[in-house]
Structure 1
């Protein structure tokens, strides 16, 4: 099958796919922030957390050693992390959509024209800006009670 992309276009499609997969994987992994709580390692991302305390018998705290999402969107510890989840997720979705179109352009003839390629490049730029904005928003949530319990009471925005 003959595709609609030149050699440079094929390189763009491959790099687009690699960066979209890397960004989306990073979005879903809960290893953005590390600390300890009750002597156990704890990690966070925007909407996931590994190793969290729960009330056990006799009102004692017990660490659950597993990773999971927050029970609901409103359970995410800070408004900044809620916004970060939406902004970064939208950016990742946009990058994946462009990468899928670019890979299809490698296989299907006349799928991507010069104007379509420019539009896809602009969409990729917007997706990258959204992911960058999400990364910039993330430290604004470092003053949440959960982060302060894990990283120390001196934690605040942009200061762990």
Structure 2
């Protein structure tokens, strides 16, 4: 099979695939915020959460359902900022995947990617990265929602999360986690 990419282009294609996969996995996983509710570990992201309180009508009490799942509807996402973050970050991940898969096909098909197409693909990757970064920047604006307050022991606010630790992934996004330690 002939390739339309140089050695540098092949490295770009592989790194594009790895970064797109890491972005999509990070977007999909519900571990953006970690905390406790009713002495059970709770975590959630923009559109998924693990361990959440539900009303048990038989026992007439609230119990923790210890499983992961999506919010029932788009409007079930706790805040407007998180809804925007979900859309913007999802579009960014989609753009990164589009470019990565196109670049990967360019490794196998000759004359698929020209210099101009490579530059356009790089521009699309840049826009995708900006969308993911801006979506992650919007995420903290939803930290004053009721769900976050409950998870962070009713002490969180937009700029006050209580005890917080952070780490940086390969795209230099800062993800914050609540902890009750």
For normalisation by structure 1, the TM-score amounts to: 0.98
| Match in the other structure for 1:150 | 151
Segments of structure 1 that go 5 or more residues without pairing to the other structure are: none
Distance 1:158 1:131 in 2: 21
Give the C-alpha shift of residue 158 in structure 1.
3.5
Distance 2:159 2:76 in 1: 22
- Bigger proportion of residues as helix: 1
| Match in the other structure for 1:126 | 127
Segments of structure 2 that go 5 or more residues without pairing to the other structure are: 162-181
Give the C-alpha shift of residue 153 in structure 1.
1.8
| Match in the other structure for 1:44 | 44
Give the C-alpha shift of residue 130 in structure 1.
0.4
Q: Deviations over 1:22-64 (max 9, x none)?
A: 0000110000100100000000100000000011134311000
After superposition, residues 11-26 of structure 1 pair within 5 angstroms as 11-26=11-26
| Match in the other structure for 2:75 | 74
| Match in the other structure for 1:159 | 160
The count of residues paired between Structure 1 and Structure 2 equals: 160
For normalisation by structure 2, the TM-score amounts to: 0.87
Distance 1:10 1:153 in 2: 50
Distance 2:43 2:60 in 1: 24
| Match in the other structure for 1:28 | 28
1:108 is paired with a residue whose SS is coil
- Bigger proportion of residues as strand: 2
The structure-2 alpha-carbon separation of the partners of 1:154 and 1:121, relative to structure 1 and needing over 3 Å to count, comes to same
RMSD, aligned CA: 0.7
